[in-house]
């Protein structure tokens, strides 16, 4: 991956995520605190976006970091960055919560490929700003379909029913939206 | 886009958990045998993760941090002291497994060859006797891992629960396969685990059925497989005892070659 936004910054005054995860595996409680301070805002924001309820979002936040504490080996650094992984776990748990169902995805099964490194606050801000710019530039129906699927947990048929659009159109919009995001981080 | 174009839209929906019903079932069946689509799915999930990272909101309340600290304090974890030892053990274990597997697979081949020799080549009696002797030696070596009364101990990190695990030893050139499973969950009546060979191309091939014993152990030895089929992965599903011609989702275990 040649894109510098997807590479791990080394020696930038911030302990690499991987070192924190190694400390977690060794039972170091201070590591979970450091990772909480680093990523709790991301996790909480995702949960709040999905659930729209601060109490429920706080419960998801708690669960995500407790799961990390209990099973740090579930994170595979070769398959994505910790910040992205936690954000996706938060999204999945929040959707489960929304649907009042038991967790459907094991932590080990969550793979997010490679995505922007977020160990530093500046990286997180820059990445979020860029993503929001890309999403904001999407045609509104495409953005809406993508967000209904991702943040409301609706299936494509539910989205089609809600918008009155054909199923095929919804499928294409979601795929095109994801590909647009990919391209933005490949250039 | 390297995955199959006909699945492109459904893969994107699946990546954001928006695919339901028959479309989902059909895609999962395809994913079981298509590494290109699995790779694309990972990419799409990464793309979806960008959406999660776009969210803005207030910081969590301060009490949430203390709540987590309190919860963590109640769940102290013993450092995994055996980690290094376990790593070394697993390395030696791999050697041991590999050697044993090679022995078993070789034994199976010898067995077949032995039978053929007896039937067609009277002059090969001496060789067959030699093979039989070797086979008996090999059986003695293999007995601790394939005999039902053998004691099997899975060594894992302290406080970790043993997980279901399977080891497939496959000799492609001869179509020989030995599969050993441990810690398998019990199954309902009339159900059995079915092993599948996922080839590099084409549909999954049924590679034997097994029902775990009271200790969760199961074995498949030399199921009928065509010689030369290149295995990309092995997978396990739960099927009716009679077996199935195609995997029934979900895949409960899966592993690619090492």
Query: What are the tens digits of pLDDT across the range A79-115?
Result: 678 888 899 899 999 999 888 765 555 555 555 555 5
Question: Does residue B111 have a pLDDT over 80?
Answer: no
**Residue B150 confidence class, pLDDT cut points 50, 70, 90:** low
Q: Searching chain B, which residue's CA lies closest to the CA of residue A61?
A: B64
The span from the CA of A39 to the CA of A44, in Å, is 9
Residue B48, judged by CB atoms within 10 A of its CB (0-12, 13-18, 19+), counts as buried
> Which residues sit opposite B90 in a β-bridge?
none
Using DSSP's 3-state secondary structure scheme, residue A36 falls into helix
- The arithmetic mean of pLDDT across residues A23-52, rounded, is 92
Q: With cut-offs at 50, 70 and 90, classify the pLDDT of residue B127.
A: low
Query: CA-to-CA distance for B175 and B42, rounded, in angstroms?
Result: 31
Bridge partners (DSSP) of residue B182 are B165
Tell me the shortest Cα–Cα distance from B80 to chain A, in angstroms: 6
Q: Does residue A140 surpass a pLDDT of 90? A: yes
pLDDT computed for residue A2 by the predictor? 34
The answer to whether residue A158 scores a pLDDT higher than 90 is yes
The answer to whether the CB atoms of B51 and A113 lie below 8 A apart is no
Which range of A49-53, B40-44, B102-106 scores highest in mean pLDDT? It is: A49-53
pLDDT in the model for residue B222: 78
Could you give the CA distance from residue A131 to residue A166 in angstroms, rounded to a whole number?
Answer: 27
User: How far is the C-alpha of A5 from the C-alpha of A153, rounded, in Å?
Assistant: 28
* Token duo for residue B178: 């030995």
Report how far Cα B60 is from the mean position of its chain's Cα atoms: 41
Contacts of B75 in chain A (CB under 8 A): 66, 69-70
For the cut 70, the answer to whether the pLDDT of residue B91 exceeds it is no
Compute the distance between CA of residue A23 and CA of residue A136 in angstroms, rounded to an integer: 39
According to the model, what pLDDT value does residue A172 have?
Answer: 94
Range with lowest mean pLDDT among A6-20, A82-96, A127-141, B5-19: A6-20
pLDDT reading at B90 higher than 50: no
Report how far residue B9's alpha carbon sits from residue A175's, in angstroms, rounded to the nearest whole number: 6
Nearest CA in chain A to B69: A33
| Whether B150 contacts chain A with CB within 8 A | no
Which helix or strand (DSSP H or E) is residue A62 part of? helix A54-70
Which residues from chain B sit within 8 angstroms of residue A55, using beta carbons?
Answer: none
Query: Is the pLDDT confidence value at B80 over 60?
Result: no
- Select from B10, B45, B80 the Cβ nearest to the Cβ of A113: B45
What per-residue confidence (pLDDT) applies to B113?
Answer: 59
Determine whether the interchain pair A149/B69 forms a contact, defined as Cβ–Cβ distance below 8 Å: no
Q: A-chain residues within 8 Å CB-CB of B54?
A: 128, 131-132, 135
pLDDT at res. B106:
59
Q: Please give the share of chain B, as a percent, with pLDDT higher than 70.
A: 66
Lowest mean pLDDT among B110-119, B171-180, B186-195: B110-119
Pick from A32, A36, A88: CB nearest B49 = A88
Q: CB distance B55–A49 less than 8 Å? A: yes
| pLDDT band at A145; cut points 50, 70, 90 | very high
Q: What is the pLDDT of residue B85?
A: 35
Give the pLDDT score at A39. 92
Which residues contact residue A79 at a Cβ distance below 8 angstroms, ignoring those fewer than 6 apart? A111, A112, A113, A114, B42
Q: How confident is the model at residue B143 (pLDDT cuts 50, 70, 90)?
A: low
| Residue-level pLDDT at B168 | 86
- Please state, rounded to an integer, the average pLDDT across all residues of chain B: 77
CA distance B8 to chain A (A): 8
Return the residue in B14, B46, B83 with the most chain A beta carbons within 10 A, the one to mutate for interface testing.
B46
Quick one: CA torsion of A85, A90, A92, A95, rounded to 10 degrees? -160
- Do B18 and A149 count as a contact with CB atoms less than 8 A apart? yes
Q: Examine the pLDDT at B23 and tell me if it is beyond 60.
A: yes
- Place B190 in a pLDDT band, splitting at 50, 70 and 90: confident
Dump pLDDT digits (tens) for B53-74. Answer: 888 888 999 999 999 999 998 8
ipTM of the complex: 0.82
* Whether the predicted pLDDT of A148 surpasses 50: yes
Tens of pLDDT, residues B211-230: 888 888 888 887 888 778 88
């Amino acid at each position: 991956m040649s894109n510098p936004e997807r590479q791990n910054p080394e020696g930038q005054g911030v302990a690499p995520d991987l070192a924190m995860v190694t400390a977690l595996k060794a039972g170091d409680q201070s590591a979970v605190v450091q990772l909480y301070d680093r990523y709790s805002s991301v996790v909480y924001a995702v949960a709040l976006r999905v659930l729209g309820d601060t109490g429920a979002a706080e419960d998801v936040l708690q669960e995500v970091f407790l799961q990390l504490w209990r099973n740090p080996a579930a994170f595979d650094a070769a398959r994505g960055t910790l910040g992205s992984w936690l954000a996706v776990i938060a999204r999945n748990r929040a959707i489960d919560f929304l649907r009042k169902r038991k967790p459907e995805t094991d932590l080990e099964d969550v793979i997010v490929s490679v995505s922007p490194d977020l160990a530093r606050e500046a990286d997180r801000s820059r990445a979020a700003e860029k993503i929001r710019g890309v999403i904001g530039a999407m045609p509104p129906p495409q953005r809406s379909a993508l967000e209904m699927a991702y943040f409301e947990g609706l299936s494509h048929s539910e989205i089609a029913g809600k918008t009155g659009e054909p199923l095929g159109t919804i499928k294409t919009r979601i795929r095109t939206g994801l590909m647009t995001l990919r391209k933005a981080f490949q250039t | 886009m390297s995955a199959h174009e006909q699945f492109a839209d459904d893969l994107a929906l699946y990546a954001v958990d928006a695919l339901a019903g028959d479309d989902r079932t059909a895609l999962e069946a395809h994913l079981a045998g298509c590494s290109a689509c699995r790779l694309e799915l990972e990419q799409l999930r990464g793309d979806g993760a960008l959406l999660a990272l776009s969210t803005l909101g207030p910081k969590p309340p301060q009490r949430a941090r203390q709540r987590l600290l309190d919860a963590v304090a109640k769940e102290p974890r013993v450092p995994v002291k055996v980690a290094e030892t376990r790593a070394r053990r697993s390395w030696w274990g791999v050697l041991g497994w590999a050697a044993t597997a090679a022995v078993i697979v070789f034994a199976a081949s010898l067995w077949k060859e032995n039978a053929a020799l007896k039937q067609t080549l009277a002059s090969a009696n001496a060789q067959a006797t030699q093979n039989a002797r070797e086979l008996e030696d090999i059986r003695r070596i293999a007995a601790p891992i394939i005999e039902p009364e053998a004691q099997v101990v899975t060594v894992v990190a302290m406080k970790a629960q043993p997980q279901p695990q399977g080891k497939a030893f496959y000799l492609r050139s001869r179509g020989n396969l030995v599969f050993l499973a441990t810690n398998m969950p019990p199954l309902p009546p009339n159900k059995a685990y079915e092993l599948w060979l996922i080839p590099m191309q084409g549909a999954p091939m049924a590679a034997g059925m097994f029902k775990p014993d009271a200790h969760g152990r199961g074995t498949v030895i030399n199921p009928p497989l065509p010689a030369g089929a290149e295995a990309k992965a092995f997978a396990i599903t739960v099927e009716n005892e009679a077996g199935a011609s195609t995997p029934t989702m979900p895949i409960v275990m899966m592993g690619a070659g090492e």
